Structures are given as structure tokens and as C-alpha cells.
Amino acid sequence: MKLLFFVKILSLGILLCFVELLHAQNNEMELWNSEIPNSVASNEYKEVFDTKLGRVTKVINPTLRVFSPKEPNGSAILICPGGGYAYLSIEKEGYKVAEWLNTLGVTAFVLKYRLPSDEIMIDKSIGPLQDAQEAMRYIRRHLDKWSIDNNKIGVMGFSAGGHLAASLATRYDDQIYEVSDTISTKPNFSILVYPVISMNEKIGHQGSRNRLLGINASKELKENFSNEKHIDSLTPPAFIVHASNDNGVLVENSLAFYLGLKHNKVSAELHLYQDGKHGFGLGKTGTNQHWTQHCEQWLRVNKYIN
């Protein structure tokens, strides 16, 4: 009987430890504690998660899911999944990426941001950036909770999420909602993977542009959301990845951002792979599968991780 009791206690202890670890690894928090800015109430608009594809659409309540490494090194990265501003590829370009970053000792935050929609927003063009700015503020408000170094917080984005990440890196000073503190939204570095950068007609991704700005967007609005136009000497350093045969988001997007950084003497590294097309995530076959190794090396050389 004593042995049976001991086994039960031991099993319970293991279960509790597992639950605690799982909670620490996948702690999802609501981004906005108060009313969500720029929002419009809609009873018809409801969030949908496609378990088969690992995609989420129609986000109403933005969240941050934190993935904590076993041995955090003080670095943190905010992850913005892609999906052409139509959906979020939250498993492939969010959760799986966060798990990889954990192996480097990086605390990862996956942002489930609002997708541009006139149904739930007053101005759909700024909705995603509002969430990204608040996410960066949220991380900086809780540095001690996750033992994060304020000087080692980056942003990472894939495809349209790369456009959002680049927007945060270039438009961190834009006052697009009311705030009660002076916490900076400027990332210390950015990692852009096959990113949408420009909104112009020549190289911009039409689907992302139309969803974010509308089909009849003015030239001024397109310029305002073309991130290569907003680079200056204070733009944070960047690591950029793209496949040369990407027919979804043209490689010229990454080239434009890289050249803008170079022109302004901002440290940057650009990797263009022979193949991979669009949406290769953590890497499939060919040379693009090694981009994570190159990224890790860049993070170490620049002392963003130990």
C-alpha cells in the first residue's frame, strides 16, 4: 500500500511538472488589457482556426504566445507570421519557429495580430501595426518576468508578416494609438524572411497591398506603406532571407530593403538562395534549408545571443 501511495504521489508530481512546463512553453496572453484601439464591433466576424493547415483567420482579439527556453540567455524575438494579410500561417511561421529559437536560448513571442478588415476596424491599414507596436511595448513592460535584456529584443516576420516586421523597424515612432507610457516600440534588430517590403505596382505583392490598403489605394498611401522609403540611419540592423525564384513575393523586395539599409550605413546581411520559391519556412530542400544556421551565426556575431 505504501509503495502504491508513493507511486501515485510520484506520478502526480511528474504530471504537475509537465503541466507547468507546458504552460511556461505555451502561455498565451491577450495583447490589449483595455479596449482595442481602432476597433468596430461585429457580431458576424468570428475567428477561425484551420487545424489541418495550421492557419488562423478573422482575428478579433490579438494575443501573444510566449515560448520560454529551458536556459534563457536574455534575448527575445517577436514573431509575425505571414499569410498575405489574409490569414496567419501561425504554426509553420510562428510556433515551429519559436521552438527553434528556444534551442538558441531565445524567448520567443508569437503575435496573433488582427488582419486588415473594414468589418472590425475604422482604419484597416494601421490595425496590424498597432498590434505589433503594442506587442513590443508589452514585452518591454515585462522584461523581468522573462529575464529579458532590453537591448536584445528583435522582430521577425515572414512574407506579409515580414512587411509588418519591417514596418515596426521603420515606423516605430508613428503614433497610431494613444499610449500611457513612453516605452519604446523600436526593435533592436529585425529578421525578415521572404518579406513583402514594398507596396508599389512594380515589385509589391498585389494581394497584400489590396488587403491592407484597399484596391483603390492612393499613390501617397502606397508610398507610406512601402518600407524601403522609410529607412534612415536609425533603422535597426537586419538579417534578410529570400529565394531568387520566389514568384509569390519578388526577391526585389528584399533587395530594395537591403540597399536602403546599405545606403544609410545600417548593418545588414542578405542571403539570396538559388531556389525555395515562396513560403519555405524553416527550410525544405536545397540551399535554403541552411538559412537558420546562417541566422544563428549572425545573431552570435552581433552578440544578440551568447
Count of structural domains within the chain: 1
Say which range, 11-15, 82-86, 158-162, 228-232, has the weakest mean pLDDT. 11-15
Q: What is the CATH number of the domain that holds 260?
A: 3.40.50.1820
Give, in degrees to the nearest 5, the angle at Cα 215 between 230 and 85: 65
Q: Residue range 70-93: average pLDDT?
A: 98
Identify whether 11 is part of a domain.
Answer: no
Supply the DSSP symbol for 92: I
Flag whether 279 is in a domain. Answer: yes
Note whether residue 24 is domain-resident. Answer: no
pLDDT digits (tens, 9 = 90+) for 193-215: 999 999 999 999 999 999 999 99
Is residue 204 situated within a structural domain? yes
Q: Evaluate if pTM is beyond 0.85.
A: yes
Percent of the chain with pLDDT over 70: 92
Rg (CA), the chain: 20
Residues facing 294 on adjacent strands: none
Give 9-64 pLDDT, tens digit per residue.
555 455 444 444 444 455 999 999 889 999 999 999 999 999 999 999 999 999 99
The answer to whether position 23 is within a domain reads no
Crossing angle of helices 160-170 and 206-213, rounded to 10° = 60
Average pLDDT score, the chain: 93
In a domain? residue 21: no
Tell me what percent of the residues of the chain surpass a pLDDT of 90: 88
- Domain of 136, in residue numbers: 30-301
Helix, strand, coil in percent for the chain, rounding step 5: 35, 15, 45
Return the pLDDT at 19.
Answer: 42
Q: pLDDT of 118-171, one tens digit each?
A: 999 999 999 999 999 999 999 999 999 999 999 999 999 999 999 999 999 999
From CA 38, how far away is CA 131, in angstroms rounded? 11
